[in-house]
Structure 1
Amino acid sequence: MGQLYSPFRRTPRDRRTLGGIRRWLTAAAGALALTGSLVAVGPQASAAGLTQVTGFGSNPGNLSMYAYAPDGLPEDAPIVVALHGCTQSASDYYAHSGWPKFADQYKFALVLPQTTSANNANSCFNWFDSADSTRGKGEALSIKQMVDTAVARYGSDTGRVYITGLSAGAGMTANMLAAYPDVFAGGSIDSGLPASCATSVTAAYTCMYSPPDKTPAQWGELVRAAAPSGTTRWPRVAIWQGTSDTTVAPANATELRDQWTNVWGVGQTPSRTENLPGNTTLTQYDDASGHPAVSVYSISGMAHGLAVDPGSGAEQCGTTGTYYLDTICSSYHTARFWGLDGGGSGQPPGALPAPTGLTVGGTTDTTVSLSWNAVADAASYTIYRDGTKVGTTESTSYTDTGLATGSTHTYTVAALDSAGAAGAVSSSVTATTTGSTQTCFTANNYQHTAAGRAYQSGGQTYATGSGQAMGLYNTFITHTLKQTSPGYYVVADAGC
């Protein structure tokens, strides 16, 4: 952990009351600290093609700007801003993250801000300090000035500027999305924390290990308070989190989901869920037009870091290193979520309208029968149960089988065109199978909470309905819960 209380020198800009305790935060917590070696970067960074840009504004945050523009970059191309983690540098993130591959392939400019130990003992972006992470101040304003400079330098499309970051960089990313929704069309928060979660050292520890149990509305209000008054346009947000992360608790992904779905006004019921490579589960939440507004990528078993997948395949990218973990290429999937692979708007390619008239035709102990109105030009239809794809059919009816007795499910349907692109998702219907409602679920406390079978308060977990104590809110404690009635669960570890 190092010398927890030893002071450190700061520049005149940073000689504030938080000066001494920032070292405490960054050293003791790992500061969301990624322990790769710090790379000294001069006018030309060590990674080929990454160039320092000077004179990009008043730079109140005392940051350095590095940029990469692929050959043949067209006018009106997008920009991706990528924030490194603690003890890292712009060239380190450039070399490992995989973003240069897709900048070349999809033709967008990369901007990589860099901080140093002059700002923070472990070269972390000061995500927990409102003097650096709010609109018009410190590091946040320096990053905004980099965007303005890149737009002028490359003739970029101001409607397609995106930001991503890892760990402390992810904490800053969330704050930038909240402070500058007029600048960023989308963001990706990789192993990070909700916007405005921490404005002090104590709050930073709480956020990292046991984030506050705020309602979605409370989290959303923090974003609305940070944004310009009257903001109605919000960025599309990707959230990446490993389930075995002990530096940033996986619960942060749930709180982030709650925050940004509330901002979008779409609720916390998934629109769809699918399995991706690398033990990754993707859960999406659509806006009113049926396009993903918030996407949560949960990587089973991954510790703290950025997900990469070295190799030459189309969906592979990056190189492994300290806290660059070989699971799935997060940069590829994030780029696609934003629409950088050709769509340019973050919207899926399908143009078919949502099916109408979705109706439950009947139920048995184990089945639910559905029907809906045909969609012109639809080649087939995909059926989603509780946000997860369960079947595809060319007809306008479907029977879902193998269900638990007395279980309640929510269904939606989307039409697919001849190329297999899904259109907008239908309105949902709810169906309950007949028979006993007593159903049992065995999972860890984090999974129970994410599924709504439990809730967390003060870092402890409690069964929904009965309120029975289940222990610490994490992935290491497992219980069996019995559902005795809708929305009511009891601990049934002794048998169900």
Structure 2
Amino acid sequence: MRNIADTIKRLNASRTLKSSPLPRNANTRLQPMAEFGQNPGSLLAWIYIPTNFKPGSPLVVVLHGCTQTAAAYDHGSGWSDLADRYGFALLFPEQQRSNNPNLCFNWFAAADTTRGQGEVHSISQMVVSLTHRYCLDRTNICVTGLSAGGAMAAAMLATYPEMFKAGAIIAGLPFGTASNVPEAFDRMRGHGIQEGRILAEKVRQASNHQGPWPAVSVWHGTADRTVDPINMEAIIGQWWHQHDLKDAPRITSQSQRHQCRTWSDNAGITRVEAHTISGMGHGTPIKPGASGLGTPSVFMLDVGISSTWHIANSWNLIGESEIPPVEVAVTSCPPGARDESTRQVNRPVRGVIEDALRAAGLMK
């Protein structure tokens, strides 16, 4: 664990991020959702219902990152633009500064990540209310988020697994990996991360749900200096064990810098997938322009890859294919064989990252 001086330094850096420029009133199409039941987490709620919406449509819950607002994240990611094309509904929970001065969801606080309490309960109440109000498909609800929002998406998948068909965690952390601010910073740096079996047990203890479990997609840049890429491997291990998967991954090459690993169950259905973006820092990968989605801004990174499109496509919200993947059989060991104990965690961070990159096929 770092010393107190290092913790103070990082806290000061996070306060500096608070003043980073964000698009103001970037997307006025989002509408406030004033009433949605209990709100112990004191969150705000915004929604987007496209004009071509029909009852029985899917719902996507989108969780912004630190220093962002719901409107800013939608403007950067392009989710409402995609909803316009395909007619699904959107819910954007939003943090308040009274809860967290940097507008981070409190993914590391037990009071906000325990079923029936705090922020996770507020979000679940939003989902229930919106689903009832617009007659949404209760079997087709997904959640995604960036950074702290990604970690909170992981918390939603763990605490309310019966509510979600799938989730996508972008530059986030596994559920239950930290319980206070110093631990949160340590995990972000890649320190003290537990093995997949232990992390999976935390998911099992988060609710009385016995399955089936949501499918999980993980996105991370290899040059992320805010949330260490080893967290991606930890999330994979957590849900690989939770789904009780047996196979090694298959690698799909979407482009030279975008590689996807997928793990399937005995029926051949993908349950866990991991998207590695070579050279990308901390943020959501987007692809602006006529053929893409999103607008570059703080933590919205133009790398020529639209995570929004790929995530929606993996959830069957889009009925077409963008780039035919090239599949390559992989013989490497599955996550269960890689994280037998805290062996990786206790190694130098550089070595852990290199192992993760080798596992992704990005380093020899």
TM beyond 0.5: yes
Query: Deviation per CA, 1:448-494, whole angstroms, max 9, x where unpaired?
Result: x9899xx6232427xxxxxxxxx643359999xxxxxxxxxxxxxxx
Q: Distance in 2 between matches of 1:165 and 1:245?
A: 16
Report sequence identity in percent: 35
Q: Are 2:225 and 1:246 equivalent residues in the alignment?
A: yes
C-alpha contact (below 8 Å) 1:164/1:173 kept by paired residues: yes
Of residues 68, 76, 84 in structure 1, which corresponds to 2:48?
68
Of residues 71, 75, 80 in structure 2, which corresponds to 1:91?
71
Q: Which stretches in structure 1 are left out of the alignment for 5+ residues? A: 6-22, 349-381, 387-408, 411-448, 462-470, 480-496
CA shift in 2, pair 1:214/1:291, >3 Å:
same
1:324-343 matched pairs, under 5 angstroms: 324-327=300-303, 328-342=305-319
CA shift in 2, pair 1:164/1:66, >3 Å:
same
Q: Are 2:92 and 1:115 equivalent residues in the alignment?
A: no
1:215 Cα offset (Å): 2.7
Q: Distance in 1 between matches of 2:257 and 2:19?
A: 25
Per the alignment, residue 297 of structure 1 pairs with 275
Of residues 4, 7, 11 in structure 2, which corresponds to 1:27?
11
Q: Are 2:211 and 1:232 equivalent residues in the alignment?
A: yes
Q: Are 2:163 and 1:183 equivalent residues in the alignment?
A: yes
Letter in 2 for 1:217: R
C-alpha contact (below 8 Å) 2:76/2:300 kept by paired residues: yes
Of residues 151, 159, 165 in structure 1, which corresponds to 2:131?
151
Query: Deviation per CA, 1:140-177, whole angstroms, max 9, x where unpaired?
Result: 11111110121122110011111100001011111110
1:384 Cα offset (Å): 4.4
Per the alignment, residue 61 of structure 2 pairs with 81
Q: Distance in 2 between matches of 1:341 and 1:477?
A: 31
Q: Which stretches in structure 2 are left out of the alignment for 5+ residues? A: 359-364
Q: Distance in 2 between matches of 1:291 and 1:476?
A: 27
Letter in 2 for 1:185: K
CA shift in 2, pair 1:211/1:290, >3 Å:
farther
1:330 Cα offset (Å): 0.2
CA shift in 2, pair 1:171/1:154, >3 Å:
same
1:388-399 matched pairs, under 5 angstroms: none
Q: Are 2:38 and 1:58 equivalent residues in the alignment?
A: yes
1:46 Cα offset (Å): 5.0
SS in structure 2 of the partner of residue 457 of structure 1: coil
Per the alignment, residue 362 of structure 2 pairs with none
Q: Distance in 1 between matches of 2:112 and 2:10?
A: 16
Of residues 208, 220, 240 in structure 2, which corresponds to 1:261?
240
Per the alignment, residue 298 of structure 2 pairs with 322
C-alpha contact (below 8 Å) 1:260/1:294 kept by paired residues: yes
Q: Distance in 2 between matches of 1:383 and 1:457?
A: 31
Letter in 2 for 1:27: L
Q: Are 2:345 and 1:457 equivalent residues in the alignment?
A: yes
CA shift in 2, pair 1:288/1:49, >3 Å:
same
Query: Deviation per CA, 1:325-353, whole angstroms, max 9, x where unpaired?
Result: 1111001000111111149xxxx9xxxxx
Q: Distance in 2 between matches of 1:90 and 1:278?
A: 32
| Structure with max Cα Rg | 1
SS in structure 2 of the partner of residue 143 of structure 1: helix
Per the alignment, residue 146 of structure 2 pairs with 166
Letter in 2 for 1:275: S
SS in structure 2 of the partner of residue 254 of structure 1: helix
1:234 Cα offset (Å): 0.6
Q: Distance in 2 between matches of 1:321 and 1:383?
A: 33
Q: Between Structure 1 and Structure 2, how many residues are aligned? A: 344
1:205 Cα offset (Å): 1.6
Letter in 1 for 2:11: A
CA RMSD of aligned residues (A): 3.1
Of residues 297, 310, 319 in structure 1, which corresponds to 2:288?
310
CA shift in 2, pair 1:459/1:383, >3 Å:
closer
CA shift in 2, pair 1:79/1:284, >3 Å:
same
1:37 Cα offset (Å): 3.8
C-alpha contact (below 8 Å) 2:293/2:308 kept by paired residues: yes
CA shift in 2, pair 1:55/1:175, >3 Å:
same
Q: Distance in 2 between matches of 1:246 and 1:294?
A: 24
Q: Distance in 1 between matches of 2:57 and 2:103?
A: 30
Letter in 1 for 2:314: F
Q: Distance in 2 between matches of 1:324 and 1:235?
A: 26
User: Between Structure 1 and Structure 2, which shows a larger proportion of helix residues?
Assistant: 2
1:191 Cα offset (Å): 0.1
1:267-278 matched pairs, under 5 angstroms: 267=246, 269-270=248-249, 272-277=250-255
CA shift in 2, pair 1:269/1:72, >3 Å:
same
CA shift in 2, pair 1:56/1:285, >3 Å:
same
1:26 Cα offset (Å): 7.7
CA shift in 2, pair 1:172/1:91, >3 Å:
same
1:64 Cα offset (Å): 0.7
SS in structure 2 of the partner of residue 113 of structure 1: strand
Query: Deviation per CA, 1:337-383, whole angstroms, max 9, x where unpaired?
Result: 1111149xxxx9xxxxxxxxxxxxxxxxxxxxxxxxxxxxxxxxx98
Per the alignment, residue 352 of structure 2 pairs with 473
TM-score (norm 2): 0.86
1:297-446 matched pairs, under 5 angstroms: 297-313=275-291, 316-327=292-303, 328-342=305-319, 384-386=328-330, 409=331
SS in structure 2 of the partner of residue 182 of structure 1: helix
